[in-house]
Amino acid sequence: MSTHTADGRRTDTAGGGARDAGALRRLAAATLHANWEHDHTVPSRTLYPHQWSWDSAFVAIGWSHIRPDRAWRELTSLFRAQWAAGRVPHIVFNPALPVGSYFPGPEFWHSAAAEGAPAAATSGLVQPPVHAPAAWLAYRRSPSPAGLAALRWLYPRLVAQQRYLATRRDVGGGGLACVVHPWESGLDNSPAWDAPMAAVPADAAVMRAYRRHDTAHADAAHRPTDLDYARYVALVASYREHRYRDGALADRHPFLLECPLFNAATGAAEHALARIAPLVGADPGPHRERAARITEALVRRLYDPVTGTFHPRDLRTDRLVPARTVLGLTPLVLPDLPARQVSALVAEASSPRFGLAARMARPLPSHDRTAPDFEPLRYWRGPSWMNINWLVRRGLLRHGRPDLAAGLRDSMIELVARSGCHEYFHPDTGAGLGSPAFSWTAALLLDVLADEPPGAAGKAPGAAG
């Protein structure tokens, strides 16, 4: 077989599966070590030189296998930049880097002018709250007194994060948090956002005033367009103008959507907090109750029985967005998702739209591959992503489908074995796209390699928690 060095260069290795797995573990560990930056891990040294929120959560899971101390430093450093009301910013900027090293940088966000912002320069947006499950998994993978101390420190901050989303972001009043920008969903330019974004006034020419960092390091044909970015900038400007206050969002903000992934992550976080609570002397009951309410609201507001999948709800129109994207599969991570929805999502995932199988012919795409707007090269409009694969796999294990989880695991491992630890992958060929030496790809590879194949020895380790 062939594998890759931390910078993405191909090297040849010989031998059987065990030796191959060892080479992949070394590649993943080398990638994380190369991206470590004093108290956190950058997603990549080229495209993303600062700290990103949900990246750090996934990365902490990987570190727990090889350097548990760094798993806790990763999460702790992120939550030191938490805002007073509980907002966990989607970017924490490294002050040692020069102005212009990333766009949009700290001078664009101007977080210091906002009430309750931390001393560190941050963005004003959030990302899916996958941090409590990451903390629980990191502790379960490598329990220790230091880990328990870190959980005690993190627990009230994780609770504050959940409280912020449940109160200040429930704009629709239906028990779900809304996102105010596609970047908050994590799936920046998903076709799920096309119709809502089309209503955001913007002109691609506005981007002439800025220097995009991403297209200097990746093929522009693989990235969001200038018109996309003009709308992203307009949305940030709208939110920043009001100093990132969430009051009266319904009256003034042009993009308000309830996202299936974001809210599935919020529900999963409550389940994880219910696991953490007894360890730190807290009551797990309220977390279980909130988790049940989130799952009920998710099914009531975002599930479409006609398509058999979940869709974002546009609060501006009070309608579900019709695009069938991988966002719709992610509620599988909820252990209390009703059996009817579980069966429907497994059918959706196994259909030609996504091609999930016990033996995957092609990687899991991020968008319906039968749709006319499917783009195999452009960011979240088709390519396969390790973190979404990881979330869907965990959901399959939770709901008694180890056969399909095994197929997805094999596909994830093959992507890296074939192409290295890339940011994302071509959904047909598995070729690496975006940034090489990408941290969450390396981290989650370590996690799936640590799990025995489902069925090999009873319940797979990844099925619990």
Q: What is the pLDDT of residues 382-435, one digit of tens each?
A: 999 999 999 999 999 999 999 999 999 999 999 999 999 999 999 999 999 999
Q: How far is CA 132 from the centre of its chain?
A: 13
CA distance linking residue 338 with residue 303, whole number of Å: 11
Give catalytic status of residue 423 as yes or no. yes
Run of H or E including 258? strand 257-258
Average pLDDT, the chain: 91
CB 6 within 8 A of CB 441: no
Judged against a pLDDT cut of 90, whether residue 323 lies above it is answered with yes
Give catalytic status of residue 336 as yes or no. no
In the prediction, which pLDDT does 409 show?
97
Secondary structure of residue 432 in the 3-state scheme:
strand
* Mean pLDDT along residues 78-87: 98
Please indicate whether residue 375 or residue 102 has the higher confidence score (pLDDT).
Answer: 375
CB 91 within 8 A of CB 127: no
* Mean pLDDT along residues 70-91: 98
User: Any residues with CB less than 8 A from the CB of 363 and at least 6 apart, and which?
Assistant: 384, 389, 411, 415, 425, 426, 427, 428, 430
pLDDT digits (tens, 9 = 90+) for 12-55: 333 333 349 999 999 999 999 999 999 999 999 988 999 999 99
Secondary structure of residue 168 in the 3-state scheme:
coil
CA distance linking residue 274 with residue 335, whole number of Å: 13
- Band (7; pLDDT cuts 50, 70, 90): very low
CB 129 within 8 A of CB 265: yes
CB 112 within 8 A of CB 243: no
Given the residues 188, 246, 258, 314, the one annotated as active site: 188
Judged against a pLDDT cut of 80, whether residue 460 lies above it is answered with no
Given the residues 184, 246, 258, 423, the one annotated as active site: 423
Is pTM beyond 0.95 here? no
- Band (230; pLDDT cuts 50, 70, 90): confident
- Residue by residue, DSSP assigns 110-149 as -GGGSTT--SS-B-S------HHHHHHHHHHHS--HHHHH
Q: Which of 242, 240, 249, 387 is nearest to 326 (CA)?
A: 387
* Mean pLDDT along residues 230-250: 94
Judged against a pLDDT cut of 90, whether residue 209 lies above it is answered with no
